[in-house]
Structure 1
């Protein structure tokens, strides 16, 4: 990977984190799609400076994964809560029909 590609991957990662902070998940997905081939093209031998940049990207990735997990858990909790309320409404209506 050239220094330009690594620098672009780093900037995309920073922008991806900012997009997640702003709640713009569609933009974040587009950034991740653009960034992926750059990360996949990493070569084995890197300079110390490049390795430091890669470590920063890895740290930001850990933050991204944590945020994605938290968002997934929040969506799952909201979904479960909605299902429980629908079930309660059905039971209420069924009890009303028994009269």
Structure 2
């Protein structure tokens, strides 16, 4: 049986360095005002991290599921949009 990680590895991602499709509106809100860090726990692609007291976001490999904006409990501190045409996740199957 193939693991989820192995299937995700088969997808490709075209990075839009000029305009990332997710950004944190105010990092201090995440670092100081958020207790649950739900984005870190819930992101299936592992784009979010919390290390040394700071939230981190790397959009490379994002599955564009929108989970981070839904679970954000800091009052919509995640600015999430679909990537521009031709960028983002390229699913191998589907």
Q: TM-score range by the shorter chain?
A: under 0.3
Q: Which has the higher helix share?
A: 1
Q: Which has the higher strand share?
A: 2
